[in-house]
Each structure stands twice: as C-alpha cells, then as structure tokens.
Amino acid sequence: MAVANELVYLTLREAADGLRRRAFSAVELTEAVLARTEAVEPRVHAYITLTADQARAAAAAADGEIGAGRYRGPLHGIPIGLKDNFYTAGVRTTAGAKVLADFVPTQDATVVTRLRAAGAVITGKLNLHELAIGSTTTNPHYGATHNPWNLDHIPGGSSGGSGAALAAGLCFAATGTDTRGSIRNPAALCGVVGFKPTYGRVSIFGVVPLSWTMDHTGPLARTVEDVALVMNAIAGYDPQDATTVDVPVPDFTSGLGQPIRGLRLAVVRNWFFDALDPEVRAALETAIGVFRGLGATVEDVELSSLTPTHEVFEVITRPEAAAWQHELLAARPDDYGADVRMGLEMGELILAIDYIRALQLRRIMADEQYALLRRYDGLLAPTRAAPAAPIGVAATVVDSREIAIGRQGLTAPFNLSGIPAISVPCGFSTAGLPIGMQVAGRPWDEVTVLRIAHAYEQATDWHTRRPPL
C-alpha cells in the first residue's frame, strides 16, 4: 500500500487507475482519506456531517465488486464529498441553515443517486454558506470553513466546504451548486477546479433551492480531467427535473488532449477587468499569453450588456429565494444569519414588475453572449477580482475601490446566460493565495470548454501545488 498522504493527493483518475489494477483497495483509499480528515478537519472545518461508517461500508462493497470483476467505472470506490444542500436519504441535509437543521430527506438527490450508481464512496456533507446565499462560508450556525492555503482566510463560497476539502486532500471530487458562481468561486480561492455545466445539463432535483431559474449543479475536483469524469456520471436528462433538457450527453473527456491551435478565444475586457487586484490582473495576462503560445487566436472583446449584472442577478434571485423560504422567514426570522435574512427580506419587497424587467434584461444579456459565441470558441475571464479575503471581513480594497466580498465574484454573467464555465488555477499571489481563471463556451458544448481548460492546465503546473497543512 502506498503511504496514506501520497494516496490522498492522487488525482481522481490516478486513484481510479490504482483501484482498477488493485494497487490499493477502496478501503485503503477511504481509510487514508478519513485519517487525513481526522488530522486536518479541526483546522479546516470542511464538513457539517462526516459519514465515515457509511463510507467504510461503501468502500468494502466496492472492493467486493471490483474483486469479483464487476468494475463500474472511474468513480467506483472513489471517496467523494457532497455539499450539504444535496438531499441524502437518511442523512440530514441542512443547506447550512439553522431552519433546516433537522431535515432528514427520505430520498437522494438525482446527482447523489447517479454518484452512488457509479460506485462512489460518499464521505459526508460539506459546509456551505447558509442556504448557498453568499460567498464566504463563514457559517453562523455550523462554523466557518477555513482556506487550507491560509487558515485565517475564507475558502470562498457558497461551496466553500467542497473547495477546502479538495485542497486539503479530504476527497477526490465534491459536488457543488452554482447560482452566482458558488462552484467557481471556491475553486478559484482554494486552488482547485470547479465546473458549472450548461443550465439544464445536470439535474437540480433534490437540491435545496436558491433560485430555480439560476441554480446549477456540478463538480469540483483537483484537475480538469477529474471534473470531466464526474460529469460523465451525473449529467443527463432527469424526468423529475423540469429544468433538465433531453439532449445527447457526450463523453466529457472526449476533447481532453486535443490541441487548441486555431481555436478562437475572446477576452471580455469590460466588467470583468474593471477592478482587479494587480496580481490577479497579471496572472490573467500571463495566462492569455499561454493560450497564444498554444496556438489559439486570442482577441479582446466587450459585452455591452454586462453593466447591471449584479442588480439583475439580485432582482431575480432574491424573490425566488424568498418565495420558498417565505413561511420559515415569517415564523423564524431570528434563526437566519444576518446577511441571509436581509437578502430574503429584500426578496419579499421586490415588485413583480421589476422581477419581469430583470428577466427581460437577462434575455438581452444572454443573447449578447450567444452572439459572441458564434464567432468565438471560448471566452476567458478572471474568476474573482481578488484572492481570498480574511475571515470576518465584509469588503476589501481592490484596485483602489472598496468592494464587498459578495461582489468580488466575476461569475454571474454565465449564470444569467446558462453557458458552461470552468474555473482553473492560474497563479498565486505573493501571499501564497490561489488565483483562478474562467473559461466559458457555447451552451451544451462542455467538451470544448473542458478541452480548452485542459490544454491550459497541462501547459502549467498551478494545479500540482499543495497547501502547507
């Protein structure tokens, strides 16, 4: 058996290859992850609920099946964490909220069902910003998750437990939800990969909602190939989810390794680049040079409709969130964190006429992105305006402007349009904090987005670095 700490930082693909050739067992892999969790979880606090015994049982079952020649595929026997807003039958699902502290679903979310069918070993339920409404994962009810790269800093959010768990070596992939960037933001701040597929590609059935028209589900992992492998297990039409679309599901790994020479990439220079930390800006410019070096044609463009992005997002999502939280908010207002309560109260007060106007603006913004993607194969943009902020800070100065932490994410435009977008590591600040870059692409063409991101990843070594835990 390999040394435990060597096992926990294998990529998912490497771990899968090891299991298939019986270099180690699923039980050994799971025990290594659980030992690592026991060692670092008191400092990182990635989990709300650890399901160690269930993980051990699932790993033993996987070993039995693999030993009997019934290998299910690359996720078989692989420890994977779930954001705690995915329903798990018999295991409480809090969504990071006090008002859901006692919620024990009777069935799994579709994504969880598909992961179990693929043979994944579920390690537990990962911390998040309360109700996924926020980007710090400084959770007032279940504690703050700490960034493994600097424990005094946030991991981002709302899937902060997912990002931190991967950076800390506590699992090989994790699920996330992404309404305003909640997969991509923590991926960027924790130095891992986060992938938001096309809206409608992966089911949101059995996920505690934030905003039905904007919610996406998807994977986080340590490499582009690994998120593609998870996508192969979870993507596809779900008759229980009216937002999913019955379109052909590709092999999401099929474009990996293909050259990107000749592809046309656009750098969206307005809005995304308006206020950036100088080190983020420099990292992006260097990354753009890497794409040119790989033979892609890279051009600067602008999207004129982006200006009201934050306002449109808020006027759509706050009433949608309030619509389903309404009774709980009315009955138990003091059981919400201050920021989430205020957001829900705002949602109660937004008029239908403004909600409709925001949806019209969403149409305009989405159409402009689709038009751009007729001319380009992919879009490049920073994921966040600055590296991870210290825990407890409401805003930081970025490029001489004070910007709230919640508005440092540069991810919402791709939620409004529903196009696939990935965040990959593209550098580190001088303080040793990760920086992320987004690659976005045409709806339903995740294969090209993953191909572009993978080409960049393979030309750099940012994804190979590990935090000093």
Partner 1 sequence: MSDQTNSGASGGAELPGAVLDAAAAPPPVPTADLDVLVGLASRAGVTLSRDRAAALAAPLAAAVDGVRRATPARRDQIAPALVFRAPREV
Contact range with partner 1 by CB under 8 A, out of 17-25, 52-60, 142-150, 367-375: 367-375
The nearer residue to partner 1, 21 or 374, going by C-beta atoms, is: 374
Residue number, 273 or 336, with CB nearest to partner 1:
336
Residue list 414-453, contact with partner 1 (CB under 8 A): 417-419, 442-444
Site of tokens 């299991």: 19
Contact 157, 389 (CB under 8 A): no
Instruction: Tell me if 371 contacts partner 1 by CB under 8 A.
Output: yes
> Please, which residues have CB within 8 angstroms of residue 176's CB and are 6 or more apart in sequence?
83, 159, 162, 182, 183, 186, 194, 217, 218, 219, 220
Establish if 360 lies at the interface with partner 1 (CB under 8 A): yes
Q: How many residues bind partner 1 (CB under 8 A)?
A: 48
- In angstroms, the CA 434 to CA 404 distance is 19
Q: Which is nearer to partner 1, 162 or 411 (CB)?
A: 411
Residues 318-337, mask of contacts with partner 1 (x by CB under 8 A): x-------x--xx--x----
Q: How far is the CB of 326 from partner 1 (least distance, A)?
A: 7
Determine which residue in the list 14, 65, 279, 345 makes contact with partner 1, applying CB under 8 A. 345
Site for partner 1 in 216-275 (CB under 8 A): 243, 245, 247
Per-residue string for binding with partner 1, 160-199, x by CB under 8 A?
Answer: --------------------------------------xx
Among the residue ranges 27-35, 148-156, 250-258, 371-379, the one whose residues contact partner 1 (CB under 8 A): 371-379
CB of 408 to partner 1, least distance (A): 16
The span from the CA of 180 to the CA of 461, in Å, is: 28
Tell me if 3 contacts partner 1 by CB under 8 A.
no
- The stretch near partner 1 (CB under 8 A) out of 89-97, 160-168, 342-350, 447-455 is 342-350
Judged by CB under 8 A, the residue of 1, 2, 104, 351 near partner 1 is: 351
Task: Select 355 or 428, whichever has its Cβ closest to partner 1.
Answer: 355
CB atoms within 10 A of CB 211: 21
Radius of gyration of the chain measured on its C-alpha atoms: 20
Report if residue 72 touches partner 1, rule: CB under 8 A.
no
Which residues are catalytically annotated?
A: 83, 158, 182
Q: Is 346 a residue that touches partner 1 (CB under 8 A)?
A: yes
In the complex, the residues that contact partner 1 under the rule CB under 8 A are: 198-200, 213-214, 243, 245, 247, 307-308, 310-312, 314-315, 318, 326, 329-330, 333, 342, 345-346, 348-351, 354, 356-364, 366, 370-371, 373-374, 417-419, 442-444
